[in-house]
């Protein structure tokens, strides 16, 4: 079993200080320790039967500081990583190549839902800098060269920007996080969420991750189950991917609950669950 969306971070140091004040405040509300290391993640994974995990860069330090994510994948075979990159920065393409040269780093994540001047500090569904990012051709060429997974945190209202990126670089592989930040008020069959169907013909997967915070109900988050059904029908189980977003969801749920809700989704067969909890992501990334 593979959890495609976890986080881990270590103590602040002089070289890697904690600078993201809003995130530090959030971390204090988690049920886990304020410092949640790879060792603690692995222990929690073992307790619920998760064999492997992807550690997604956690911007508690300066947001492009990927030192601890890289350390995680270098030290533990069970962990892979997704780094954070600023595609507008000088030398961004070379930084991407350098990150992808580390065995276990699978790709990078862009926070399209974040205000670019406050990256990973606040969410703004009206942010539109991803349109400008499309023009960073050298960066996207490096993504193609390194076969990097492009992981996007975008809101459903930003799907036009995502479509523009995917249509411009259709040879890349993409994963869209957290139901594209849809909640139960966004119908899975009409409106913004249904616009995802425009991406189904490309190498795009959608993560049914962070369901604890997407749902407006308690376990097993039944108000998001129709979204899972629609994604399975539209993208197929080969491109629907589970991730816990643990420990970000630990303010409202245990790690076990962030996994076991899948057993209560009527449209998911046992084989479907095997795909969304491992096979689909490995198929997507060629792992």
| Strand ranges for 111-252 from DSSP E | 149-152, 173-176, 204-209, 240-243
Mean pLDDT of the chain: 96
Taking the C-alpha atoms of residue 118 and residue 214, their distance in angstroms, rounded to an integer, is 22
Contact 206, 239 (CB under 8 A): yes
The model's confidence at residue 286, banded by pLDDT at 50, 70 and 90, is confident
Q: Is the omega angle on the peptide bond into residue 247 within 30 degrees of 0, that is, cis?
A: yes
If you compute the radius of gyration of the chain from its CA atoms, what whole number of angstroms results? 18
pLDDT in the model for residue 248? 97
**Region class of 182: left (phi > 0), else alpha (psi between -120 and 50), else beta:** beta
Taking the C-alpha atoms of residue 273 and residue 237, their distance in angstroms, rounded to an integer, is 9
pLDDT digits 0-9 by tens, 85-108: 999 999 999 999 999 999 999 999
Taking the C-alpha atoms of residue 199 and residue 232, their distance in angstroms, rounded to an integer, is 14
Domain ranges of the chain: 2-285
pLDDT digits 0-9 by tens, 119-173: 999 999 999 999 999 999 999 999 999 999 999 999 999 999 999 999 999 999 9
Own/partner contacts of 232-235, CB < 8 Å, gap of 24 or more, are: 232/267, 232/268, 232/272, 234/196, 234/197, 234/200, 235/196, 235/200, 235/204, 235/205, 235/206
Strand partners, 108: 83, 150
- Model pTM score: 0.96
pLDDT digits 0-9 by tens, 12-29: 999 999 999 999 999 999
Contact 163, 199 (CB under 8 A): yes
Taking the C-alpha atoms of residue 30 and residue 53, their distance in angstroms, rounded to an integer, is 20
Share of the chain above pLDDT 70, in %: 100
pLDDT in the model for residue 287? 75
CATH superfamily for 2-285 is Metal-dependent hydrolases (3.20.20.140)
Share of the chain above pLDDT 90, in %: 97
pLDDT digits 0-9 by tens, 217-241: 999 999 999 999 999 999 999 999 9
Neighbouring residues of 231: CB distance < 8 A, sequence distance ≥ 6: 188, 196, 206, 208, 240
pLDDT digits 0-9 by tens, 177-224: 999 999 999 999 888 899 899 999 999 999 999 999 999 999 999 999
Q: Is the pLDDT of residue 73 over 90?
A: yes
| Strand ranges for 24-133 from DSSP E | 52-56, 79-84, 105-110
Give the residue-averaged pLDDT of 43-55. Answer: 98
Give the residue-averaged pLDDT of 272-277. Answer: 97
């Amino acid at each position: 079993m593979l959890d495609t969306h976890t986080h881990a971070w270590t103590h602040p140091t002089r070289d890697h200080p904690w600078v993201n004040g809003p995130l530090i405040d959030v971390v204090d509300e988690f049920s886990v320790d304020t410092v949640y290391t790879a060792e603690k993640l692995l222990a929690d994974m073992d307790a619920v039967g998760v064999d492997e995990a992807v550690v997604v860069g956690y911007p508690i330090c300066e947001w492009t500081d990927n030192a601890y994510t890289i350390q995680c994948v270098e030290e533990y075979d069970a962990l892979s990583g997704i780094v954070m990159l600023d595609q507008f920065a000088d030398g961004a393409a070379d930084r991407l190549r350098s990150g992808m040269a580390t065995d276990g780093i699978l790709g990078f994540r862009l926070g399209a839902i974040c205000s670019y001047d406050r990256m990973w500090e606040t969410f703004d569904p009206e942010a539109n800098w991803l349109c400008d990012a499309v023009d960073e051709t050298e960066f996207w060429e490096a993504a193609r060269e390194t076969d990097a997974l492009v992981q996007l945190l975008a809101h459903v209202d930003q799907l036009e920007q995502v479509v523009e990126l995917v249509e411009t670089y259709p040879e890349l592989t993409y994963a869209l996080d957290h139901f594209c930040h849809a909640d139960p008020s966004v119908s899975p069959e009409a409106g913004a969420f249904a616009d995802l169907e425009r991406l189904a013909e490309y190498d795009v997967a959608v993560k049914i991750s962070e369901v604890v915070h997407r749902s407006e109900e308690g376990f097993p988050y039944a108000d998001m189950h129709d979204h899972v059904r629609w994604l399975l029908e539209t993208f197929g189980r080969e491109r629907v991917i589970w991730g816990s977003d643990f420990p970000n969801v630990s303010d409202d749920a245990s790690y076990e609950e962030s996994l076991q809700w899948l057993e209560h989704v009527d449209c998911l067969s046992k084989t479907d669950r095997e795909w969304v909890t491992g096979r689909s992501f490995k198929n997507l990334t060629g792992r």
